[in-house]
Structure 1
Amino acid sequence: MYVRNNIRFKVWWSYSWWPLLVCFLYDSFICLLYGYFGVRALDLPWAPVATLGTAVAFYIGFKNNGSYDRFSEGRQLWGVITNLSRLWAISISDYVQPAPDEVIPDPAEVRELHRRLLYRQLAWVNALRLHLRRQTAERWDAEVAPFLSLADSAAARDRNNPPTHLLRQQSEELRHLHQRGLLAVWRQVSLVDTLRDLFHAQGGCERIKNTPFPRQYAYFSYVFVRVFAAVLPLGLVEEFDKMGPNHVWLTVPVAMLVAWVFNTIEVVGHTSENPFDNTINDVPMSSICRTIEIDLRELLGEKELPTKLEAVNDVLY
């Protein structure tokens, strides 16, 4: 996610230079034919060109609203995941305790149970992040396996959906804890409800990831902007020609400016369609996972905590 207040020149220029170059060459060619060779058949009445521009503006605005909704929902889902992870940590610390009439196990064993359940939650959030970014195979050992036992890591890694399997492991452990008398039944039900909410959040993220933005909107938005950029100089040449000799060449900068605005709006919508692709405009899942890790490990009483991720070249991943 780009976090700088103003976007650096090199960032927006990387999206703009090619369309601007094409517009410059095309608009110059139109002006050359119209002004130098006198091909008057190229001019179009301004009214239909302006009407087309208005229609295209409405269309790409509709598309951009849909694109932003996808990003916004993705960020909200990860906010829910953050809060549920904190709730899970607090609930585990308070709920996973021996009953008053039971023999109290070794306190170190209870602490290890808490640690295992919280670390598996950290494994889940990181596994979900890699799953959404399609990076599970290459990054599992470095970013998920350290939070799991060798057996749990091996059992989850090669699954089609590793995050789902990790939540299943959490549920199984809750059942075992209840059977041992370390988790009252109503507390088990409460923790399972938290797992249910985590499943809902995961399903929402997978729905966004696995459902492409409707191509009829995305594709025709691209086409309409190009069509408008093509007819724009045809509607401007006559208007500037009326201003006097050589004024027709003002068509080039004006048409380039208007086309650049429309193209930029279209690109903004396009880059917001898929919020989990690990690009500069996506949900900063790596940073969110690190925040969750710091919170949960601090709740465990650990002192040596990782540092928060900082933006790299104004981008928070």
Structure 2
Amino acid sequence: MYVRKNLRARFVWQEYGWRPLLIFATYDALICLLYGPLDVHWLDIPWQPVALLGTAVAFYIGFKNNGSYDRFWEGRRLWGAVVNTSRVWTLQTFDFVRNLSGSYISATADLPATHRRLVYRHLAWCNALRLHLRRQTAERWDTDVAPFLENKAERALRSMANPPTHLLRCQSRELLDLHEQGLLTEFRHVEMMTTIQDLLDAQGACERIKNTPFPRQYAYFSYVFVWIFAALLPLGLVEEFDRRVALGSHHVWLMVPFAAIVSWVYNTIERVGHNSEDPFDNRENDVPITAICRSIEIDLRELLGETSPPRPVQPIEDVLY
């Protein structure tokens, strides 16, 4: 996610600028050359159909951009819910998993270690979900997830098709064991299982966004329509500029920068929507789930009483990943 208030000119030029602008300017200059010095006047077309097409394309790409932004914002809301639910899970772990008077507690029971294991496994789930959504599980599991897991069998979950789900299954299994040991009452057991259900709901919604691509008919035809409009625009403008006698003998060449800029604006609007289609693709305009996972880790490890949590993720060239 780009975090700077204003986009740097270099970022705009590299991401959206020079390639399409060069193509548009070259094409528009070719049309102007044919129409002016080479006197090929059959190229010009009436301006009104081009203006009508431009209006239709604007509505179409506006609809696409609204849909793309909805996907991004839903992804950000879901990870906001993950942050809040993570805090709830940690507080429930501290306050619900307790040595209740009159209950049987095994001699080996260690509540601080149990609390830490439940919280750390949750941190493993957050990072596993991040890697699962970004399709990075194979290469990042050992560094980003495994350090939070004590059990060797849990570390081997990387080979599963959906590791985050199996980690929540491990949480559910341990809650059942704690209930049977008398460390968790039936009511508190149900409450913590409800929290796991909330995490599963958030995970499923993120997977729905990731696994359901933006409808290709909207994405494809918005791209095609923008380039059709860019191809017809100089044909409609060249005669309009040719009529402006007061501008001088070479006034027709003014069509080139104007047509190129208008085409670039339409193309940039289309590209903005395209770059927001998948909010979990680890690009400049996506939801910064790496930073969110680190924020969760800092909060939860401080709640555990640790005095040296990791530092927050810092932007790289104004982009927070």
After TM superposition, the score normalised by the length of structure 1 is: 0.98
Post-superposition shift, 1:98? 1.7
Which of 292, 305, 315 aligns to 2:309? It is: 305
Q: Which amino acid aligns with 2:219?
A: A
Note if contact 2:279-2:285 (Cα within 8 Å) is conserved in structure 1. yes
Structure 2 unaligned blocks of 5 or more: none
What is the CA deviation profile of residues 255-314 of structure 1, one whole-angstrom value per residue up to 9, with x for unaligned ones? 011001001100000000000000000000000000000111111111111111111100
Whole-Å Cα distance in 1 between the matches of residues 158 and 273 of structure 2? Answer: 34
Instruction: Name which of structure 1's ranges 241-250 and 180-189 shifts more when overlaid on structure 2.
Output: 241-250
Matched, 1:296 2:300: yes
What is the CA deviation profile of residues 143-190 of structure 1, one whole-angstrom value per residue up to 9, with x for unaligned ones? 000000142433411111000000000000000000000000100000
Matched, 1:250 2:254: yes
Note if contact 2:69-2:273 (Cα within 8 Å) is conserved in structure 1. yes
Post-superposition shift, 1:215? 0.3
Aligned to 2:189: 188
How do 1:44-83 residues align onto structure 2 when only pairs under 5 Å count? 44-83=45-84
Q: Which amino acid aligns with 1:281?
A: N
Instruction: Name which of structure 1's ranges 109-118 and 10-19 shifts more when overlaid on structure 2.
Output: 10-19
Note if contact 1:128-1:202 (Cα within 8 Å) is conserved in structure 2. yes
What is the CA deviation profile of residues 83-131 of structure 1, one whole-angstrom value per residue up to 9, with x for unaligned ones? 0000000001000002221366679810000000000000000000000
Residues 114/152 of structure 1: CA separation in 2 closer, same or farther (3 Å cut) = farther
What is the CA deviation profile of residues 207-256 of structure 1, one whole-angstrom value per residue up to 9, with x for unaligned ones? 00000000000000000000000000001001100112211101100001
Q: Secondary structure at the match of 2:2?
A: coil
Whole-Å Cα distance in 2 between the matches of residues 18 and 315 of structure 1? Answer: 22
Post-superposition shift, 1:12? 1.3
Aligned to 2:17: 16
Note if contact 2:75-2:209 (Cα within 8 Å) is conserved in structure 1. yes
Aligned to 1:7: 7
Post-superposition shift, 1:18? 1.0
Note if contact 1:287-1:308 (Cα within 8 Å) is conserved in structure 2. yes
Q: Which amino acid aligns with 1:228?
A: F
> Alpha carbon RMSD of aligned pairs, Å?
1.3
Whole-Å Cα distance in 2 between the matches of residues 304 and 37 of structure 1? Answer: 74
What is the CA deviation profile of residues 26-60 of structure 1, one whole-angstrom value per residue up to 9, with x for unaligned ones? 10110011011111111111111111000000000
Note if contact 1:77-1:201 (Cα within 8 Å) is conserved in structure 2. yes
Aligned to 1:262: 266
Q: Which amino acid aligns with 1:285?
A: I
Number of aligned residue pairs:
317
Aligned to 2:218: 217
Aligned to 1:144: 145
How do 1:80-229 residues align onto structure 2 when only pairs under 5 Å count? 80-102=81-103, 109-229=110-230
Whole-Å Cα distance in 2 between the matches of residues 268 and 107 of structure 1? Answer: 57
Residues 106/240 of structure 1: CA separation in 2 closer, same or farther (3 Å cut) = farther
Q: Which amino acid aligns with 2:8?
A: R
Instruction: Name which of structure 1's ranges 51-60 and 155-164 shifts more when overlaid on structure 2.
Output: 155-164
Note if contact 1:98-1:105 (Cα within 8 Å) is conserved in structure 2. no
Whole-Å Cα distance in 2 between the matches of residues 12 and 60 of structure 1? Answer: 20
Question: What is the aligned-residue identity percentage?
Answer: 63
Instruction: Name which of structure 1's ranges 305-314 and 94-103 shifts more when overlaid on structure 2.
Output: 94-103
Whole-Å Cα distance in 2 between the matches of residues 155 and 31 of structure 1? Answer: 65
Whole-Å Cα distance in 2 between the matches of residues 104 and 29 of structure 1? Answer: 85
Q: Which amino acid aligns with 1:284?
A: P
Q: Secondary structure at the match of 2:312?
A: coil
Instruction: Name which of structure 1's ranges 81-90 and 97-106 shifts more when overlaid on structure 2.
Output: 97-106
Whole-Å Cα distance in 1 between the matches of residues 153 and 292 of structure 2? Answer: 23
Whole-Å Cα distance in 1 between the matches of residues 208 and 54 of structure 2? Answer: 34
Matched, 1:238 2:239: yes
After TM superposition, the score normalised by the length of structure 2 is: 0.96
Whole-Å Cα distance in 1 between the matches of residues 155 and 36 of structure 2? Answer: 72
